[in-house]
Structure 1
């Protein structure tokens, strides 16, 4: 039992590792603040593209959505970081993470937003136009707010997954929380920094999990 506690819950090692874990946490927050807006932006582009009347817009948007939901994000990140330089294009670690999250999480956000837009009755758009709103005004002021409300639990759930996926940035040597915890582990030969990182992730994300549960319960009551 003592060996187990020493291997995973050595608080002296955790105390020593706290400065670099704190630095990693700040990088994780920065990554999340970059990845989530990029994913939402990509999602809107893919959602509107997938619903476009022109097949020259619709088919590529659907294809991009399908491809980047099928490709594992880890493979995508490694390709962007380590594969592109062989073509003479080196976008660096931050560039690889930005492009990777834009494509991968954008595909998931796109499917969620497309489903939300499809869930709004066409009569809503027609009624807004009958009142004199232009097509973009009807979409922005009438259709889109209803669409987002209809899929809000899914959007929050996907955002939670995006924040957790920032841990993949460690494979391209970005010093986020997991990367720093692994560095501390390699120096101390002890798993306690990894346990501490897991605890930090829990504290960071647990409020979002509770918010998601409330939204899901509210959606169930609304359908009932």
Structure 2
């Protein structure tokens, strides 16, 4: 994951009205906290921040060029979006240091195709891992290529990048591969057809 530099401003106004004014100015209200320091209220440029998240994921690490305060290294911790319109309403940032390890949730992406006649159910879409702040994986891939009916893959089956360790329970199921419903319906239909044929034959014999 690459490091992104963003110039930010400190906020001196608080409350819903101030937040609305900040957003109307094309910026996002944010709070930077961590390492026992007092929280800093900031405004992030909307376009630059949205690009950083789009290109680096929700765990984007930012070098914040804080006006009048120097640079701060921060992990994007929580992004709150408007439930209907989708724009970013607020961001929580966690102060980090180079070389420091952080615990984050990382998306799990299933790749490959399971065997024919299977139904793939992804039970978990992300796992919690610990990684160095500047080397957080954007995603972790899990291959199901050729997997047969009855295959179950757990967190312990994930191939984690070097320097990344699993925090989630290793026994947590990620993928469950079962028989496809269509196949089961076909078998059921075949069974019903055979039963009907047997009934017809028995009826003919009785006649």
Give the TM-score normalised by structure 2: 0.26
| Structure that is richer in strand per residue | 2
Q: Which has the higher contact order (CA 8 A, sep 6+)?
A: 1
Which structure has the bigger radius of gyration? 2
- Using the size of structure 1 for normalisation, the TM-score is 0.25
Identify the structure with the greater helix proportion: 1
